Structures are given as structure tokens and as C-alpha cells.
Structure 1
Amino acid sequence: MNHNLTHLHPYPFAKMATLLASSSPAANYSEIKLGIGEPKHAPPAFVLDELKENLDKICLYPTTKGIFELRQTIAHWLEKRFFLHHVDANTEVLPVMGTREAIFSFAQAVVDHKDTEANKENITEAGTENPQTGSAKHNPTIVMPNPFYQIYEGAAILAQATPYFVPCTRDNVFKGDYRAVPREVWERTQLLFVCSPNNPTGSMMTMDDWELVIRLSDQYGFIIASDECYSELYFDTAPIGLLQACTTLGRNSFKNCVVFHSLSKRSNLPGLRSGFVAGDATILQSYLQYRTYQGCAMPIPHQLASIVAWRDEKHVVQNRALYQEKFALWMAELGGLLQLRMPEAGFYFWVKVPEQFDCDDEIFVKALYEQANIHALAGRYLSREVNGKNPGQGYVRIALVASVEESREAISRIRKLLNA
């Protein structure tokens, strides 16, 4: 077996299961799940109809590159949504089976071990609690936010690269301070993962933020991979995407820049496993070759259903309105009792744990479960300790995925818990 598997952390939900193993949920309440970021809004009926009408095409082998009509639809969507001059559907767009799989495989494809012997001595650094100190000149490094979507870390470890964590704290508006990353880290960095809007903090990259990381990429030669899966769940202002920033800076070739998008959050279709990667044509050409060997191709019925989803914006507007209603409800009803920070986008609250629970995220999520039968996620499970500090400790992630009615019930229970 691959020895790097032993360096992987259990997934956050596995850690939650361990934490709650000896606990029992409040028997007088029905279960409300606010821990997992799985959309619960109804998927668009017209997308499901398109899927059903094309089930007979399941007998056909799909190509890794996907059908041209899907790539063209995605290219047009990108141009309109992010004000891009032109996206080449043949070279700058690649459909994928959901962004989680693509983010993982992308790291495997792009990490280059220039000096194998130098890396052998440092490979165990990736599995430690504080993997900030890999020192070999050629030791490949992948930089990522902290807290983070754990697939970034797992992808780095199994690509035999060292994760370097950039803390996202209240002091840097939960976005991470890339200016504070040491030069020696950037010199060995091959890939930077950025998540905007961020999971779990809800912060967004500004044009100045994008320009900074693009200039760093130019200086040190690393690839920027922007996870933009929450880009369509905004409130007032649509988030700026990485490719949009490139165009604004006159970089129409998207050099060393790729973005990941999905229909999971945008269209409430997590089970369709439909997303795409877009950007630098040279990088995507090599990544396509990797994926051809990997054997990942989206079934044709899924591709045809995806086309109609990407072409329609009305259901996305309705989806945003539902989240806006729930956020407004939570802020109005609990904003005076909990330190609720309104996110810039996404569907998460990144909640500071109240002092009455010793500011301890594990204690708070256990209380929510045992006294209110509400599932939330301890923030420390979404982050890593670096230099003695875990930026997720003392926070809880609450996903506003439940219905408005369930949200009202959850708020009522939490009010009782906080006032007890």
C-alpha cells in the first residue's frame, strides 16, 4: 500500500462521529443537520427531466474531454459571468466529475519531483501536525488556506508534496496573509490552492488579493488553482473570479491559472457529479492526458443535463434568494446571542463559540447535539495546528442548508440552549 496513506487525517465527519460516539441526541427533538455542506434545496425539475430523457445514452462510452456542446456552454457561461473576452471551448475548458475528484487529481498531475532523492528525506513532513518546515530546496510544496477543504491537504500528501498552511483569522479578515509567506516557501511552491468564496469562513478575494497572488505566481512560477464552487451563492456583489482577475490585468492566456466550478452548490445537484476546470490551455492539455489514463469521464446523460443547467440563471437567482432569507432570519433572531459574522458569500456561518462553552468548539457541538439534536461541525476539524495555534479552534461551522422551517426550529432550540 502507498505509505503516504498513513499520513492522511481522518475526514472531519469521521472525527465528529468519534467525538459524539458516547453521546446521545436530545430525544425530544427531531434531527436537524447543519454540519455537512450538502444542499437541500430542490434541484431544478427541468434538469432532472433532461437527465431522464437521455438515459438511453448511458450505453455510450463518454470521452474524457466531454462533448463539444457542453464545453461551449461552459465557455459562454464563463465569458458572461466573469466578463472574459474569449474562452476557447477546445483548449481552455475540461468537464470533470465534480470538483472534489478534479482538485485531488489535479495535484497528482501537476506536482513535479525534480529531485527524487532530496524528496525522500522530507516526504514524512507532509503527515505531521506542523508541516511548515520542509527544508529541501527541491521539496515540492502546496500552499493552502487554513482552515480549508481537506481534499487540498490529502491531495498534497498523496502527491508526495508538503502542505503549507496559511492561517485565515479575524486579523486578516479570514482570507489569509500571503505576504507573510516566507520567500523560501514560495521558492519550492508548485501549487497554490485558493478558495473564494472561502469554505468555511465565507470571505472573498478582492482584485488586490488576486493581483498579489498572480504577481507571486509570476515571480516564483507556481500554478494557482482557485476553488470557486460557492461563487454563485452571494448576497449583494458577485465574487471576482481568478480568470476575471487575469482578464482585468490583461492576461488573456490565463497563464498558470485554473479555476474549478461545480453544479453542486449553484444548482443543488451534488449527486450529478458535474463540474469543470478552466484556464491555462497548456496546463489543461497535460491534465487531459492525465485524466485520459485515469479513466474519469462524465456520462453523456449527465453532460446533457449539465448543459441546460449552465444555460439557465433563473433557478440560481431563486436559490440565492432562499439562502438570503435564511441568513437574514438567523442574523435577526440570533445575532444578539451568538457572534454571527455575515459571510460575503457561500452558505456557511463561521461562528465564534460563546464563552459559556469555554470558547471550546468540541464542547459547543456536543451541547448542540445532546441538548438540541442539531449537527454542526467543530472548527478545529477543518484546520491544522501551526506554530502552536489552530485557527479553527474556538469556531463552529454551521451550514444553512436546511429549509426555512427547519432553520426557524434550529434557531428556537439554540436560543433555549444559550439562555439555559
Structure 2
Amino acid sequence: MAFPERFSNLPDYAFPRLRKLLDAHAPGGETISMTIGEPRHPMPDFVAPILAANIDGFAVYPANDGTPELLDAIAGWIKRRFGAELGSDQLMVLNGTREGLYNACIALSPESKNGKKPVVLMPNPFYQVYAVAALTVGAEPCYVPATAATGFLPDYAALPADVLDRVTVAYICSPANPQGAVASRAYWTQLLALAEKHDFVIFADECYSEIWRSAPPVGVLDVAQAVGANPERVFSFHSLSKRSNLPGLRSGFVAGGRKGIAEMRKLRSFAGAPLPLPVQKVSEACWRDDAHVAASLALYQDKFAAADAIFSGLQGFECPEGGFFLWLPVTDGEEAALKLWRETGVRVLPGAYLSRDANGENPGKAYLRVALVAPKEEMQRGLIQLRDCLYG
């Protein structure tokens, strides 16, 4: 039996690769897992009662695009958080951002551009669904370095004009996964101008927007409305996984231009899976409530301060401006992760597993990604052991 060639060169996903690297070796101590970005703060206390009260909703087919009440709650949050005014026809509810980031590319990236094979831009390192989406639509993935030299965000404007003229979609994550870099208002403004000049669409993955260090990240929808950008140029993706500590709820949304959202809704009506109604009711309550988000943010900011204290004076260490990962410099990420596991039992992810080789280099090779999701005391133990093992 033959399989599609377009996926034949995909590496193993990050976590199966990590198991191959580590699991043949005994841990050097009590296991502390700091690999996966799975929030472990308390979920909102109203989730269970709302789910129970709406349990009969599992007996009916759910609204494809989201209930009017849920869309209203999302629009209200966008207005409170970013100051942007959106109608319900500019929104679609998602089964988490990964589903949306994938299917939006199928809905909006054309089969060719200017008679040539299209290009989909993405930062390198990156959330791996971006590349799979590009391959699915027959586009050429373009891995653009997001390194210390570029402020850990991709410099798309530095690409050759002939490449930019083939671009259909540009993915950008802010706060960035894994580096935690936050796109400024100037960065968004320049990217919107570049998209207009070269006629492509921006997919802004902003699922970490509510986890920040010193100031709330600027949102692309706010900037787009402020500069009068074409609404069809940008689509923003958000999730309750990180914001509300509900990764298992699989609930998010995409917001953007009416025409693009209509195309996504049409595709979903044929091939998508709407959120069950009880999940939509819980999601509605989450987007209307900001108190639980502030409580979770305070816990993360306390963790940032603890990480600062532990790594104080370490050359190359920078606590992130957003998100909940540390992006730690090492000589070789795989060697460091294996050494750390064998000597301490602390489990972290090599940065190369989040990147691709491009022009002979892998920009994640000399880094480790460390998730700050465990309870503070456990996290501190893990970071201290990591520091002493790798930097002592």
C-alpha cells in the first residue's frame, strides 16, 4: 500500500523522539517532567457545574460555527482585551487552535500564486502544525530563523522579493513558542504592510497572549484596526487551553475578515467537527470571566521571578516576556537533555525537536525548552537541578 509522499519526510513528533532519546536510560533521581506545555494550574471552579447543568446537550448536534451566546462572549473578550470591534460573522469556534491553524490553511491558501507553487512562511523553531498544513495544501514550507539575532521572531521582510511574491500564508506566534518573544506594535504594523505589499494572509497564533511577564502582549487585531489594514489580511487564533488551564476542553476560536471566516465555516460544514454544546456553554463562561485568568497569571509571574533568582548571572539566560517556557542555551540540546535525565531525573525537550534544518542549520540545536507548568516548589527543584547539572 502506498502512502502520500508529501508527508514522507516528516520527522517523528517531538515527544516520541524524546522517548527514544531518554527512555532506554534510567533516571538519575526522582522524575520531574518539564517537557510538555500542559497547564497544571487549577481550572475555573465553575466548569463542572456548568458542564453538569448542560449535560443533555450531548444529545443534539452542536452549532457548526458556535452558538450566538458563545460568539457574543468571545467578541466581548476581544473588545475588553484588545479594543477591537468584531461582529459574530468574523468569528468561528474551534476545537483548540491546532485544528484551526491547520484547516485555515486548507480553506485560504490557493493552489498556486502568480502561476507558481505557493510558499507558506513560518518561524523556525515553530509549532509543528504549521509545516503539516503547508504540505497538505501543496505549498513550499519556508522556515525562517527566529534567533537571538532577530529578537527570536522571524524577519520575513528580509526574504527575497521573488519568494515573498509566492507567499500565500505567513504563520507567526506571539508570545512565541518556544522562546517567549512578544511581537511589538511596530512588528505587527510592519508585517501587515508586508502582507499588503506581497498579497498574503497572516495567521497569528496568539494562544499564549494571557501569560506575560511585564505587560499584556499587543494583539494583531488591535493593530490591524488601528492602522486600517484590510480585515482579510489577518486571522487571529486563541484558545482556552493556556488562558483558562483547560487543555482537555479543546476549545478556541479564530477571528478575522468576514470573507475568510465564511470560507472556513464552509469547509467545516463539510469536513469539520463542531464543539459539543456543553463544551460551548463552559467556553462561554470562560470567555466572560477574567478573574480566573488574573489568578493564573499571578502564579506564572511568581514562577518567572523564581526562575530569575535561580539563573541569576547565567550568561545567555533571559526570562521570557510571554508564554511559560524557558529557552535555555546549551552546547547541544540532545546531549544536554540526556545528561540531565541520566544524572538528575529532570526531563526537558531538546530545542532541535521544535525546529527544522534550513540552509544547513537547525536554530534550536543549541537550546533546551523547559516548561514552567509544574507547581512552583516542584518547578524550583527541577530548575535548580538543571542549573547545577548543566551550568554548575
Shorter-chain TM band: over 0.9
Aligned twin of 2:24: 22
CA deviation digits over 1:49-72, x for unaligned, max 9? 211221121101002111100001
Q: Secondary structure at the match of 2:107?
A: helix
Q: Distance in 2 between matches of 1:6 and 1:192?
A: 23
2:9 aligned to 7, 12, 27, which one? 7
> Offset at 1:183?
0.6
Aligned-partner residue type, residue 23 of structure 1: H
Aligned twin of 1:403: 375
Go from structure 1 to structure 2 and tell me whether the alpha carbon gap of 1:336 and 1:250 turns closer, same or farther (over 3 Å shift). Answer: same
> Offset at 1:111?
2.0
Structural mapping, 1:4-403, within 5 Å = 4-26=6-28, 29-84=29-84, 86-89=85-88, 91-114=89-112, 138-251=116-229, 254-337=231-314, 339-353=316-330, 359-403=331-375
> Offset at 1:138?
1.1
CA deviation digits over 1:45-104, x for unaligned, max 9? 1122211221121101002111100001101111111011x2101x10100111111111
The percentage of aligned residue pairs carrying the same residue is 38
Q: Distance in 1 between matches of 2:69 and 2:391?
A: 56
CA deviation digits over 1:349-390, x for unaligned, max 9? 11001xxxxx11111111121111111110111111211221
Q: Secondary structure at the match of 2:46?
A: helix
Q: Distance in 2 between matches of 1:287 and 1:92?
A: 11
Q: Secondary structure at the match of 1:166?
A: strand
Which stretches in structure 2 are left out of the alignment for 5+ residues?
A: none
Q: Distance in 2 between matches of 1:333 and 1:5?
A: 42
Aligned-partner residue type, residue 242 of structure 2: K
Contact 2:36-2:371 at 8 Å conserved across structures: yes
217-226 or 334-343: which moved more?
334-343
> Offset at 1:334?
2.4
Q: Distance in 1 between matches of 2:351 and 2:290?
A: 33
Contact 2:336-2:390 at 8 Å conserved across structures: no
> Offset at 1:113?
1.3
Q: Distance in 2 between matches of 1:418 and 1:7?
A: 33
Aligned-partner residue type, residue 284 of structure 1: I
Contact 2:111-2:137 at 8 Å conserved across structures: no
Q: Distance in 2 between matches of 1:300 and 1:113?
A: 35
Go from structure 1 to structure 2 and tell me whether the alpha carbon gap of 1:418 and 1:2 turns closer, same or farther (over 3 Å shift). Answer: closer
Contact 1:256-1:283 at 8 Å conserved across structures: no
Aligned-partner residue type, residue 372 of structure 1: T
Q: Distance in 1 between matches of 2:320 and 2:179?
A: 7
CA deviation digits over 1:110-143, x for unaligned, max 9? 221148xxxxxxxxxxxxxxxxxxxx95101100
Q: Distance in 1 between matches of 2:6 and 2:342?
A: 36
Q: Distance in 2 between matches of 1:164 and 1:335?
A: 36
Aligned-partner residue type, residue 351 of structure 1: L
Q: Distance in 2 between matches of 1:418 and 1:256?
A: 44
> Offset at 1:336?
3.0
Go from structure 1 to structure 2 and tell me whether the alpha carbon gap of 1:338 and 1:50 turns closer, same or farther (over 3 Å shift). Answer: farther
Aligned-partner residue type, residue 299 of structure 2: L
> Offset at 1:337?
4.3
Aligned-partner residue type, residue 239 of structure 1: P
Q: Distance in 1 between matches of 2:308 and 2:212?
A: 16
Number of corresponding residues: 390
Q: Distance in 2 between matches of 1:65 and 1:146?
A: 32
Q: Distance in 2 between matches of 1:164 and 1:48?
A: 43
Aligned-partner residue type, residue 60 of structure 2: L
Q: Distance in 1 between matches of 2:383 and 2:198?
A: 48
> Offset at 1:338?
6.5
> Offset at 1:415?
4.1
Contact 1:337-1:418 at 8 Å conserved across structures: no
> Offset at 1:255?
2.5
208-217 or 192-201: which moved more?
208-217
Contact 1:8-1:157 at 8 Å conserved across structures: no
Aligned twin of 1:119: none
Aligned twin of 1:127: none
Aligned-pair Cα RMSD in Å: 1.5
> Offset at 1:7?
2.8
Q: Secondary structure at the match of 1:255?
A: helix
Contact 1:338-1:351 at 8 Å conserved across structures: no
Go from structure 1 to structure 2 and tell me whether the alpha carbon gap of 1:416 and 1:350 turns closer, same or farther (over 3 Å shift). Answer: closer
